[in-house]
Amino acid sequence: MTQEMPPAAAAVVPAAPRTAGQPSLPRRILADRNGLIGVVLIGALALIALASLVHLGQDPLAQHQSGQLAGPSGAHWLGTDQFGRDIAARVAAGIFASLRVALVSVALATVIGGLLGVLSGFAGGILDAVVGRLTDVLFAFPATLLALALVAALGHGWFNTAVAIAVVYTPIFVRVARGPVLTVRESEYVRAGRVLGFSRSRLLFRHVLPNVSAPIAVQVALALSWAILTEAGLSFLGLGTQPPNPSLGLMVADSRNFFPDAWWTLLFPALAVVVAVVGLNLIGDGLRNALDPRTVRR
């Protein structure tokens, strides 16, 4: 340089902010109070679900002739149902079934819907128009009715239930992904990348995707909680998990005839659903806060 920059010019960098060594994402979620509570709740449910897999407790299908509709006791911590089956074991297995359907359905919806949304938003044109109309059509059906119809058409089984729920949620992910992509695509840093000669795939995967991942991740947590409710709803209506397999929705449905006398038949499966939904929503809140780089500073 021909001309010396005055030393004081911009050489003064403000004191290193706390973000200098930014903690990892899981740490940031745990640092958020809502996120922490959510993770604890869902972690507990997941442990219970895993315990049911290895039959740590009772067999959820075994009928104990000695005590039908027996209250909580040392032998059956959460009591038994009308067939004398252990409610603790059935709730644990029901949680596993719910989480399995929720995870698989939301994974499908996220990958398919998210990809369609990102691609259609980034590419625009005909792809965007076609995807847009398709999502409009799917949105036109009431969600629960659509899921009901799909399960009826596909037949029973947990995977078919998951597919039905995935179809219902895919358009939500298309929209959640597409909106921010439209904003980010027009952002100046993407424009700067174009001027600098970055390829379209580099712009899409390195610059657009990371900046739209936050709303998608938040949506994943929320969709998981809805999926659990939907699965429970379908089972309640007799279209999800089939008896004698344990399911939270089915247990709530069965308890209708007994709960005035045997409250434990209703309370524990319903509680499991509530805890799952609240926990996932809290994780969604925590994610939202953790993923915004600007909130870290405050």
> Which residues of this protein are in contact with another protein, per CB under 8 A?
1-3, 5-15, 17, 19-20, 187-189, 191-192, 194-199, 202, 206-207, 210-211, 293-294, 297-298
CB closer to another protein out of 8 and 54 = 8
Q: How far is the CB of 175 from another protein (least distance, A)?
A: 23
DSSP state of 17: P
Q: How far is the CB of 32 from another protein (least distance, A)?
A: 13
Query: Which is nearest to 292 in space by CA: 172, 207, 210?
Result: 210
CB closer to another protein out of 63 and 211 = 211
CB closer to another protein out of 197 and 260 = 197
> How far apart (Å, rounded) are the C-alpha atoms in residues 140 and 134?
10
Q: How far is the CB of 221 from another protein (least distance, A)?
A: 20
Place of tokens 């100046």: 188
User: Contact at 8 Å (CB) between 283 and 221?
Assistant: yes
User: Contact at 8 Å (CB) between 98 and 273?
Assistant: yes
Q: How far is the CB of 70 from another protein (least distance, A)?
A: 53
Q: Cα dist. 133→136, 173, 193, 223 in Å? A: 5, 14, 31, 22
CB closer to another protein out of 243 and 293 = 293
Q: How far is the CB of 74 from another protein (least distance, A)?
A: 49
| Entry field: residues in the chain | 298
> How far apart (Å, rounded) are the C-alpha atoms in residues 77 and 59?
13
